[in-house]
């Protein structure tokens, strides 16, 4: 299908803007409405989607229920123990769909049974380990269950938003089947190049869900646009993704954050650097003394930065530095320490293959520190055994990245029918 070109310099209108512009026609004959959203659910004037829907009075429509994903309705809670929230403007209680158990993260039949529709307005980050993707997927599954088991035609209406890192580059290994989790909803590349609306359509088709899904598409967005190109105001989509620039590096540094490396959580600029300090060695640990002490720092920022620079990776430079990590209740890696670190500067976002960069970093750390660096823990977000095995063997990262291409080509062909934008 040929799609219209995006007018030059036209500001992007997100799904909620288009819904307003079209006088809410997508909500016709839907009376009892819920909304899954957080602090990113804003129109182009900064008005909350919550308030826009709550103020609807036509056709006897009523916003009755609010759902929130990880981090809560305001995006401030960085814990699995989400405290109960009530929206202060509408006075609606918020149902948190986040917690330590899988059942905590899925909407129940009791929560959905009296609803005509669930509207979704969330910001995606363009990577398979972004937990809002699982939150959306679970609603699509729940709507299908409502249809097939309870004959309840629950509509899902997704208000689309830009992919923060554009829609042209599809990169990285595709996650292995059988490893599905809250940080890996389904087999997808690390960087899938889809908007939330496109991903939702792909999920429904691929999983053969009996879900009545409507996507309200954006206007004036093209696949070549990163968030900074849209003219939209920036709202951090989570507590640790604070700038559009850090979102560019997220597909790379996200791959290493479940190892014993800091990626900047506990600082003002997460996902702009990585490093490691001294690990706590506590009584009872192997080789530990009777009192707690710190092990020696093994991470040499100068050596790591030099090794990565020698790889001549397009689109990025590396600088050795030091970074203080806050000593707060979250106890991020190396909290309370000032650690040696490598700062990354993106010089050409289009030349940079960020998942390949992540593998370059994993490979370098494994080569330099085979004893200290806990490579196996990267599998949590990498989710591709062949890639991890290749890094472990010492294969060249460029050879590893080349091995992803056949699967990426197949994925791009499979997603093509669900693309909404040129």
**What is the structure's pLDDT at 176?**
98
Where, residue-wise, is CATH 3.40.50.12170 in the chain?
15-238+410-418
The counts of H helices and E strands in the chain are: 12, 14
Residue 168 is predicted with a pLDDT of 97
Q: pTM for the full model?
A: 0.93
Output the DSSP codes for 247-279: HHHHHHHGGGTTSS-B-STTSSSTTSEEE--PP
Write the pLDDT tens digit of every residue in 98-140: 999 999 999 999 999 999 999 999 999 999 999 999 999 999 9
Query: Residue 80 has what pLDDT?
Result: 65
Vertex 122 angle, CA 235 and 146, to 5° = 165
**Per CATH, the architecture of 247-383 is what?**
Alpha-Beta Complex (3.90)
Residue ranges of the chain whose pLDDT lies below 70: 1-9, 58-59, 79-80, 280-294
Q: Are strands 155-159 and 171-174 parallel, antiparallel or unpaired?
A: unpaired
Domain 15-238+410-418 classified CATH 3.40.50.12170?
A: yes
Q: Identify the helix (H) or strand (E) that includes residue 389.
A: helix 385-393
**Crossing angle of helices 354-368/244-253, nearest 10°?**
50
Q: What HEC string does 181-207 produce?
A: ECCECCCCEEECCCCHHHHHHHHHHHC
Asked if residue 358 lies in contact with residue 254, where contact means CB atoms within 8 angstroms, the answer is yes
- Predicted confidence (pLDDT) per residue in 373-403, tens digit: 999 999 999 999 999 999 999 999 999 999 9
All CATH 3.90.1150.140 domain ranges in the chain, comma separated: 247-383
């Amino acid at each position: 299908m040929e799609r219209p070109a995006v007018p030059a310099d036209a500001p992007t209108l997100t799904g909620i803007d288009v819904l307003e512009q079209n006088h809410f026609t997508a909500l016709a004959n839907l009376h009892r409405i819920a909304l899954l959203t957080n602090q990113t659910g804003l129109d182009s004037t900064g008005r909350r989607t919550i308030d826009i829907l709550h103020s609807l009075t036509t056709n006897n429509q009523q916003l009755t229920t609010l759902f929130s994903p990880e981090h809560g309705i305001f995006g401030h809670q960085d814990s699995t123990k989400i405290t109960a929230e009530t929206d202060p403007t509408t006075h609606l209680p918020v149902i948190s769909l986040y917690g330590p158990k899988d059942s905590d993260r899925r909407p129940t039949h009791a929560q959905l049974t009296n609803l005509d529709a669930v509207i979704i307005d969330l910001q995606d980050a363009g990577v398979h380990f972004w937990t809002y993707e699982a939150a959306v997927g679970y609603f699509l599954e729940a709507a299908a269950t409502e249809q097939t088991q309870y004959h309840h035609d629950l509509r899902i209406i997704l208000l689309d938003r830009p992919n923060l890192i554009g829609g042209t580059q599809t990169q990285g290994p595709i996650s292995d089947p059988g490893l599905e989790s809250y940080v890996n909803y389904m087999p997808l590349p690390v960087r899938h190049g889809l908007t939330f609306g496109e991903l939702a359509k792909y999920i429904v088709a691929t999983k053969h869900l009996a879900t009545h899904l409507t996507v309200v598409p954006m206007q004036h967005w093209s696949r070549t646009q990163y968030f900074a190109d849209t003219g939209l105001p920036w709202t951090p989509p989570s507590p640790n993704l604070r700038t559009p620039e850090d979102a560019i590096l997220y597909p790379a540094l996200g791959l290493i954050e479940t190892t014993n490396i800091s990626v900047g959580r506990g600082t003002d600029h997460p996902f702009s650097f990585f490093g490691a300090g001294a690990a706590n060695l506590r009584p009872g640990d192997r080789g530990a003394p009777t009192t707690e002490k710190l092990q020696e720092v093994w991470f040499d920022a100068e050596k790591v930065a030099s090794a990565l620079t020698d790889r001549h990776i397009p689109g990025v430079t590396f600088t050795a530095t030091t970074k203080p990590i806050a000593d707060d209740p979250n106890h991020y890696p190396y909290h309370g320490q000032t650690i040696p670190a490598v700062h990354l500067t993106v010089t050409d976002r289009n030349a940079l293959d960020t998942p390949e960069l992540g593998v370059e970093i994993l490979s370098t750390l494994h080569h330099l520190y085979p004893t200290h660096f806990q490579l196996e823990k990267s599998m949590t977000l990498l989710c591709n055994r062949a890639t991890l095995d290749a890094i472990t063997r010492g294969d060249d990262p460029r050879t590893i990245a080349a091995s992803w291409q056949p699967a990426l080509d197949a994925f791009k062909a499979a997603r093509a029918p669900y693309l909404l934008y040129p």
